[in-house]
Structure 1
Amino acid sequence: MPDIIRLLPDNVSNQIAAGEVVQRPSSVVKELLENAIDANAKQIQLMVKEAGRNLIQVVDNGMGMSATDARMSFERHATSKIANTEDIFHIKTKGFRGEALASIAAVSQVELRTKKEEEEVGTQIIIEGGQLISQEVIHIPTGSSFQIKNLFYNVPARRKFLKSNSVEFRHVLDEFHRVALAHEDIQFQLYNNGEELLRLRSGNLLQRISDIFGRKIKNLLIPISEELEWVKLSGFVGKPESAKKTRGEQFLFVNHRFFKSTYFNKAVQDAFEGLIPQRYLPSFFLYIEIDIERIDVNIHPSKTEIKFEDESSIYALLRTAIKKSLGVYHVAPSLDFEQNQDWVFSIPKKDSPIEEPKIKINPAYNPFKENSKPFTKAEKLNVTEFYSSFRNDDITSDLFDAPSANNEENFLRLMNGRWMIEHKGQLWCIDPYRIHQTILYNKYIKSIKNHALSQQLLFPLERPVYDLEKEKLISIQSKLFAQGFDMQIEDDLLTITAIPSDILQEKVLDIIEELLYQLTEHSEEEFSVFFSKSVSKVSAKKRNEFIQSSQIRPIWEEFKNLEMPYLNPLNKKNYEIISIPNFE
C-alpha cells in the first residue's frame, strides 16, 4: 500500500492558518493597526471600502522596513518581536506569532509600500494569493502603507459567509475603537468609502473616550485609580444612569492590550449590584498594568484571551476599586474611603479640660398620669362612622372568584405572578406578561400591514448615541420611518420628533434600547416581525401589574380570541395545562 501522508504546499497551509487568524475584515484591521503601533507610529490612517471586502488600507509614519524585511514579513513565523522561547514570556509588543501577514496574503491581493527613515528609497511588494508578483524600488515618505484588496477572492466559500456590509463595518469599527482606546497618545483617522468618519487627536484618556463616544459621556464617567505593589488599575466607569442593555462601552485592557474576560466583567457587574436593573450593563474603560511575567498572552491567535497568574486577586481589585469610587463620588453609600465633608467634628486642644456632657431631665414627668381630656360623644361617633365606612369587599377578596351563572372561569394569582385558571374543566397556569406580549405582537403586525399612523411629539425625545449605535440606527432609519417614527441623528445625539400612534411615549426610548440590543448579525428576519417582537416585549405589562382578576380577565378573553397559541413571539411558553389527579 503506498504512503498516504504528504507535506502540504505553503499556499495551502497558509490558507488553513488564515482560517484562524483572518476570520473577517475586522481581523485584518486589527492585525494591521497593531503592526503600525509596534512600528512606533504616531499617526495612523485606516481606510476601508465596502466594509473591507474590496479594500482595507492602513498608512502609518512608523519606522518602516528595509527591502529584505519587507519581503521576509510575508513568510510564516517570520517576526521581529521574539527570537527564542524565553521571549514568549516577556512579550511587550502587540504581535509576536509571525502568522498574520502570511495568512492575510494567502487569501487576498496585497500591496505593501514601505521605507525606513535612513534610506533614500522605499520598496513596493505585490502579492496575490500568497504568491509574489513583483518587488520594486519606489519613492515614498518614511513609514508603511498596506493595501489589502478583494479579501477571500480565492476562497469563495469564505467570502460568501461574510455578513452584510453594515454588520461587517460594525466589527471593523469595534476593532478600531479597541486599538484607539488603548493608545490615546497616537493620532488616528478612519475613512469609510472615501468619507472621513473619525479624526482622533492625541491627548489624555478622557479626551479619547469623548472623541469616540461623544462629549456628553464626560459627565457620566467616574474615575478609577488604585495601585498596589504588583499591579495598577486606572480608567473610568459609567454612572448607574448610563447603564444600557446593549454591549458596546465595556473595555478591558492589560498593558495597553485589549482583552475579553467574562470573569472580570462579572467583577464590574458585582460592584454595581443594587445600582442598575437586571440585564443592564455598566459602561467601563479599565486599564490594568502588571508585570508581563504575571500574564500569558499566547493563548489564542486572536490574542484577546489572556491568562493571569492570580485572577482572583485582580477580580477583588476591580470590585473593591469600583465600589470605592462609587462611594467617594456619592453614587453608592460610602464606606469611609474618604471623610464625608458633611460630618465635621471639633477636635479639642491638647491642654483643654474635658467637660462631662450635661443631660437635662424632668423628674416630675409621669407617663401614666392622664392629662388629656376624655373623648366627647360626638368625637366617639365620628370615629365609629369612619371605620364603618369601610366594607369588607373593599379590603378583602376571595382567592377564587365566586362562580357565576354564565360559566365564567375562576382565577387564582400565584406568588410568582403567574395565574391559575379553571378553563373547560382543565387547570391552566398562564403567564400574563407573555400572553400580553402575544396580544400586542399581533396588533402591531396588523397595524404595520395597514400602514401605521404617526403622531408628532410636542416635546422631542433625545438620547445620546455613539458611533456603533449610529451605524445600527442609520441602517434601519428608513424602516423605522415606515413604522411611524421620525428621527434625526446629528453628531452624537438622536432626536425623535414623531412616533407610531399605538405606542406610548414613555416606552419609546426603551423600545429604541431594545432594538439596538436585538439588532445583531443574527437578526435576519423580516424587519416588521423583528420590530413587532421588540415593541411588544417592551410595551407588555409586567407580571406584578396584574394583581386582581378584573385585570387579567380582559387579557385572557383577548388571548382566547387569538386561538390561544402555546408560544409567544419570542418562543416562550404562554401557558401550561396541569393534569388534576383523580383521588377516587
Structure 2
Amino acid sequence: MNKIRILPQGLRNRIAAGEVIERPASVVKELIENSIDAQAKRVEILIEGGGKRLIVVSDDGIGIPSDELHLAVEPHATSKIESEEDLFNIRTRGFRGEALASIASVSRLRITSQTEGEAVGRSIYMEGGRLLEDTPSPHRGTTVEVKDLFFNTPARRKFLKSDRTEIRHIIDTVTETALSEYNRGFRLSVNNTETLHCPQAGNLRERLLQVYGEEFISGLHLIELPHLQAFFSREDNFRINRSHQYIFINGRPIRDASLRHAVYSAYERILPHDRHPIFFLFLQVPPSSVDFNVHPAKREVRFSDKEGVYRMVRDSLREVLLPSSHEHVKPLTPTTSTAIKTGAGVFGDYQKDPPSAPPSMIEEPVSGYGHIEHIYLGDVFLAYSDGEGLTLLDHHAAHERVIYEKLLKGMDIGRAEFLFPRQITLSPSDYTTIIQNIPTLEAVGFSVEDFGSNSVLVRSIPAFVSEDALQGILEDLAESIRDISANSPVEELRKRLAMTIACHRSVRGKKRLTGDELRALLEDMEKLDDPEHCPHGRPTRLRIGIDELKRMFKRT
C-alpha cells in the first residue's frame, strides 16, 4: 500500500500551475494584470510561436525592488493583500500570489525590473522553477520574458492547439483587458507584426472606437449611470452568435450567466429567437460587495446582492429599449452610406425595398404559379391557397433556404461592386481571421483586401447582401470560421459560411412581399433539394389540405 507523503514544492507548483496557467493566453493575462497593478501607463506584448516559444510583456510601471525580486516568484507571495479581511476588499487585479510561481515552474523565465529610486535594477533567470541567474541590470519598469512554455510538462504542451488558435486566444485576452483599461496604452505584436495598438484613451467610447471602429459603435446604444456604463445593440443590430459580449466588474473581465441573462431579458419581445445582442457592461460596485476569490483564474464572482445587480442591469437596458427617451441615453454617431453599383443578382427579384405605403393585406392573383392570392399574418408569415388547401409560409425561412442552397451549389449569385471600396475596421481577432481566409471568402462572393491596422477593404459583395449589414456579416463570418475545427473538411466550412450569409440577408422583419416577389420565391423553392426546412432545420411552410380542413370543421 502506498504511503501518504507531502509532495515536493516543485511538484506542488506544477500542479498549481495547471489551474492558473492553462495556455499561453493565461500567461499573457496574468502578466498584463501585474502591469496594471504596477500602475503602468504603457504595456507592450510580444508573441512568437503562438506564445509557446516566446512571450514578452514590458511595462513602465513602478517596478519591483531588487531585494524583493526573488520573492516575487515564490508561491503565495504578493504585495497586494496582507490579511484575510483584504480578500473581501479586493481593489487590484491580482491578489493570490500564484501567477509568477506557476509560470516559473513550467517555463524558462527571466524577470528584469527596476524601481524609480534605484540606481540599478535586477534580473533573475529560472528554468522549471529553479533559480539559475541573479544579476544587476539597468532597466526601467518591468520586463517578463517567458520561453518554451510547458517545456518540462510535455503532456500539457501536447494539448495546446495550433499556433493560429493560441494566437487568437492571446489577441482576445489583450483586447478584453484593453477595453476596460482605457487610460493605459497597449501594443501587441505577433511574429514581429503589430496586431493591436491602442494608445491611451480619454474614455470608454474612445477605446471602443480604437478597437472596433466608428461603424461598429454607431450600431450601439450608450447608457451612463452612477454604477453602470453600457454599450449595447440597437434594436436592428444583432448577431448570429455571442461574440462581442463583455462584462466587467470594477474593470475586471468576468463571466456571469446571471448578468448575461439580465441583458437578454431586457431584449424580451425585441430579440429574434436566432439572434444575439452585442453588449459591453462596465459595472462599478463596492469591493466589499463582490467576491473575486472563487477560482484561481478570477473569472467567476459572487455578489452579496445578486438579485439587485441583476435588476439594475435588466431595468437600465430595458428603459432604453422601450420607445421613450431618457436623459442618460446618448446617441452614438450615425452610419454613413457609400454609393454602390448593383449587379444582376438572383435574389433581387424579391429583395426590394418596401414600398412607402403599406401593401394591401390581400394581393392580386399571381400569374405563372397558378391562381394565388395571399394574406399576411403579422410581418413574417403569409397564407396562400392553390385551391386544394391552405399553406402558411415563413418567408424569412424560405428565402434563407434559397440563398443557402444557391451558395452551396456554386450558382452565379451575382456581385455588387462598390464605386469606392468600403473600409471596415474589425476587432483584432476578427481581422486576423478574415485576413487568413480571404480565398475562402472570395469563393462565396466577398472581395476583401488587407488594409492594415485591423482594417480591410471590401471591393465587392454578393448582390443580395445589404451594404448596411457589411460590418456585422464580416464579424459573423469570422466567428463562423473560428467555430469550425482546423481539421474539418472544406465542405463543412462552406456550409457554415453559406448558412451565415443566408441568415444575414434573407427577407426580414417588416418587409412584405409583393405578388411578383412571392411568385419568384415560390418558383425558386420548387428547385430546392429541401424546400421544407431552413438551413437550421426549422420548417419553411405548413400545409393544411382540404380533407383536414373538413375534419377541423367537422364536415366529414
Common fold, TM-score beyond 0.5? yes
Alignment match, 1:6: 5
CA offsets 1:17-52 (integer angstroms, 9 cap, x no match): 222111111111110011111112222211112331
Residue 504 of structure 1 corresponds to: 464
1:411–1:130 Cα change, 3 Å:
farther
Q: Deviations over 1:180-220 (max 9, x none)?
A: 22222222222222233314224222222212222444544
Alpha-carbon distance in structure 2 between the residues aligned to 1:225 and 1:433: 36
Check conservation: 1:225, 1:321, Cα contact below 8 A.
Answer: no
On the 8 A contact 1:248/1:468 being kept in 2, the answer is no
1:551-566 superposed matches below 5 A? 558=527
Match of 2:294 in 1: 299
Distance 1:155 1:266, change over 3 A: same
Amino acid at match of 1:468: S
Larger RCO, structure (CA 8 Å, separation 6 or more): 2
Deviations 1:386-408 (A, max 9, x none): xxx999x7659999867xxxxxx
Alignment of 1:252-331 (within 5 A): 252-326=247-321
Q: Aligned residue for 1:209?
A: 208
| Deviation of the 1:294 alpha carbon | 1.0
Q: Please give the TM-score of this superposition, normalised by the length of structure 2.
A: 0.75
Give the residue type in structure 2 aligned to 1:305. E
| Cross-structure match for 1:529 | 492
Counterpart mapping for 1:327-476 below 5 A: 332-334=323-325, 413=391, 444-447=407-410, 455=415, 457=417, 459=419, 462=422, 463-476=424-437
1:153 is matched by which residue type in structure 2? F
Q: Is the 8 A contact 2:55 2:146 kept in 1?
A: yes
Instruction: Within 5 Å, give how 1:110-125 maps onto structure 2.
Output: 110-125=109-124
**Distance change (3 Å), C-alpha of 1:49 and 1:399:** closer
8 Å contact 1:51–1:166 — kept in the other structure? yes
Change (3 A) 1:253 1:122: same
Report the CA distance shift for 1:556/1:395 in structure 2 as closer, same or farther (over 3 A): closer
Mapped partners of 1:482, 1:212: distance in 2: 28
Q: Are the aligned partners of 1:113 and 1:122 in contact in 2 as well (CA < 8 Å)?
A: yes
The equivalent of 1:477 in structure 2 is 438
Q: CA separation in 2, counterparts of 1:16 and 1:575?
A: 56
- Does the 8 Å contact 1:267/1:316 carry over to 2? yes
CA contact (8 A) 1:511 1:538 kept: yes
The DSSP-based 3-state class of the residue aligned with 2:150 is coil
Tell me the amino acid that sits aligned with residue 531 of structure 1: R
The alpha-carbon deviation at position 572 of structure 1 amounts to 8.1
From the superposition, tell whether residues 318 and 565 of structure 1 become closer, same or farther in structure 2 (CA, over 3 Å).
closer
SS in 2 for 1:93: coil
Q: Report what 2:31 is aligned to.
A: 32
CA shift for structure 1 position 112: 0.5
Q: Distance in 1 between matches of 2:186 and 2:107?
A: 25
For this pair of structures, how many residues does the alignment match? 489
Equivalent residue number for residue 91 of structure 1 = 90
Structure 2 CA distance for partners of 1:529 and 1:574, relative to 1, 3 Å:
farther
Give yes or no for the alignment of 1:249 onto 2:209: no
> Letter of the aligned partner of 2:189 in structure 1?
Y
TM-score if structure 1 supplies the norm length? 0.71
CA distance in 1, matches of 2:166, 2:459: 30
| Greater mean alpha carbon deviation, residues 193-202 or residues 20-29 | 193-202
1:134 partner SS:
strand
1:149 alignment counterpart: 147
CA RMSD of aligned residues (A): 4.1
Structure with the greater alpha carbon radius of gyration? 1
Identity %: 31
| C-alpha contact 2:54 2:147 (8 A) present in aligned 1 | yes
Structure 1: gaps of 5 or more residues:
339-388, 403-409, 419-431, 577-584
In the alignment, which residue of structure 1 is the partner of 2:479? 517
Deviations 1:373-430 (A, max 9, x none): xxxxxxxxxxxxxxxx999x7659999867xxxxxxx87646xx59xxxxxxxxxxxx
CA drift at 1:68:
3.7
Measure the CA separation in 2 of the matches of 1:10 and 1:518.
44
Equivalent residue number for residue 57 of structure 1: 56
Distance 1:28 1:459 in 2: 46
Q: Does 1:486 align with 2:450?
A: no
- The alignment status of 1:159 with 2:171, answered yes or no, reads no
Structure 2 CA distance for partners of 1:536 and 1:28, relative to 1, 3 Å: closer
